[in-house]
Chain A
Amino acid sequence: MSDIKYLAPGTIEEAVKAMQAAGGKGFVLAGGTDLLVQMRSGAREPQTIVDVKKIPEMTTIEELPGGGFRIGAAVSGAVIGEHKKLVAAFPGVVEAINLIGSKQVQGRASAGGNLCNSSPAADSVPAMVAAGVTVQIAGPNGRREVPVEKFPTAPGRNCLQPGEIVVSLTLPAPAAGSSDAYLRLIPRTEMDIAVVGIGVSLTLKDGTVTAARVGLGAVAPTVLLVEDAAKALVGSKLDDAALEKAAAACRAACKPINDKRGTIEYRTKISGVLLKRAAKIAAQRASGATVGGTH
């Protein structure tokens, strides 16, 4: 016998009401690639499962006037990876989302779910931090927005209040001459959890960096926005000195743990190495050169 309730509301308002009524025992089901595993292991014991995939706003990608995008929180990685305009505008964000799990997992897993799971090693989050994503949240008191870097608050925890759900992710229109890249280090070639993950977004004018954002993952309790690394890149032509300064800023921002995937020293060192590589890829993309994927 089961006393778990499964609901599939058709609107945000109904979903919020269902979450509110569940009083802390409600869980949103998007792709389910985390939730079902957590339920099976006993890590999460929902009384109400709120499947949000019947809500159009949460399952569609919308182009915004000016060149930005709104990605529904439950849109799968596979659908995101097939959206040509989104891939062209934000190759780094898309490659980060598409690195989560296998093709099977990609068929279901969403960027919204990856964010809400709030793992420090979430692949999509550093790239979304670099891209300046805003998280659209709906709750009992209406809607609010949070910059993505402020969303996770600790491993497995985030800023959602009771009854709130993530509706969508807004990617701001990139300035002319902008692009992004995401790189991660894993001990295998595929399907593993990041030892370090880094997203870099750059705007270039005549070869000089005019704006930059750096998101760094898996080296602290939450994904970090590394402003000092961005500052080191702005004004430079990505010469070795500027890259080294930005790499040093990444290393300084690291507060990692030792675990089976990597030691504190290794993670710290690698954060600088990946910063340099990701910045170069973002710059090549921003200046129109084609660069292959990160597999």
Chain B
Amino acid sequence: MAKLHVTTKINGEEVEYLCDAQDSMLDVLRGPLGLTGSKEGCGSGDCGACSITVDGRLTCACLMLAAEAEGHDIGTIEGLAQGEKLHPLQEKFIEMAALQCGICTPGVLVAAKALLDRNPDPTETEVRFWLAGNLCRCTGYDKIIRAVMDVAADMRKTVAA
């Protein structure tokens, strides 16, 4: 079977790749495309370490075939920072030490950004439910939740200013 040729957009740039039918989006991101920020934790959609957005919609890259990306707009952790300038979520996670081993962090950041893009003023409960699909075995979640709440507050101030 010939390889499938896919044209898609990743972090705003047009990208082409070849893949097999059963290759997951995560396989292609981490393999041929070299975007290793998305992590493989469980490979079954439970842990959220491979969280990406597809047309702005949060999803797990391990639960999507690479072939399905044709004509869509993919967002990965590599698209969060603008060049050397980190996204406010990334800065806050460093400042508040909202990470330890770091495996879950890219997925948490992508998921948190998807939340704040939709809801700039989430309650703590909303943040906790939104991030329920991102497992972290180090932090106990509290620092992550506080960092996201803090960034949301900061970003609201920036918008108001």
Q: Which residues of A approach B to under 8 Å, CB–CB?
A: 1-6, 8, 29, 31-33, 36-37, 39-40, 49, 51, 53, 76, 78, 101-105, 107-108, 189-191, 295
Given contacts A102-B132, A103-B130, A107-B54, contact A37 B22 (CB under 8 A): no
Q: Give the docked Cα–Cα distance between A3 and B20 (Å).
A: 9
Contact of A6 with B67 in the complex, beta carbons under 8 Å: yes
Q: Name A51's contact: one of B46, B48, B67, B130 (CB within 8 Å).
A: B67
Across the interface, which residues of A come within 8 angstroms of B67, CB to CB? 6, 8, 51
Q: Give the docked Cα–Cα distance between A114 and B129 (Å).
A: 21
Residue B63 is within 8 A (CB to CB) of chain A in the complex: yes
Q: Which of A6, A53, A104 has the most CB of B within 10 A?
A: A104
Across the interface, which residues of A come within 8 angstroms of B115, CB to CB? 103
Given contacts A32-B63, A190-B132, contact A104 B22 (CB under 8 A): no
Residue B4 is within 8 A (CB to CB) of chain A in the complex: yes
Contact residues, B50-90 vs A (CB, 8 A): 51, 54, 57-60, 62-65, 67-68, 70
B134 to chain A, nearest CB (A): 8
Q: Name A101's contact: one of B45, B62, B64, B68 (CB within 8 Å).
A: B45
Contact of A33 with B65 in the complex, beta carbons under 8 Å: no
Contact of A105 with B45 in the complex, beta carbons under 8 Å: yes
Main secondary structure of the interface of A (DSSP, over half): loop
Contact of B129 with A295 in the complex, beta carbons under 8 Å: yes
Q: Give the docked Cα–Cα distance between A78 and B54 (Å).
A: 13
Given contacts A105-B60, A107-B57, A108-B64, contact A37 B133 (CB under 8 A): no
Q: Name A49's contact: one of B24, B60, B65, B70 (CB within 8 Å).
A: B65
B25 to chain A, nearest CB (A): 10
**Can you list 27 contacts pairing A with B, beta carbon distance less than 8 Å?**
A2-B1, A3-B1, A4-B21, A6-B4, A6-B21, A8-B67, A31-B63, A36-B45, A36-B62, A37-B44, A40-B44, A49-B21, A49-B22, A102-B46, A103-B58, A103-B111, A103-B115, A103-B130, A103-B133, A104-B48, A104-B60, A104-B111, A105-B63, A105-B133, A108-B64, A189-B132, A190-B132
Contact of A6 with B65 in the complex, beta carbons under 8 Å: yes
Q: Which residue of A lies closest to B115 (CB)?
A: A103
Across the interface, which residues of B come within 8 angstroms of A103, CB to CB? 58, 111, 114-115, 129-130, 132-133
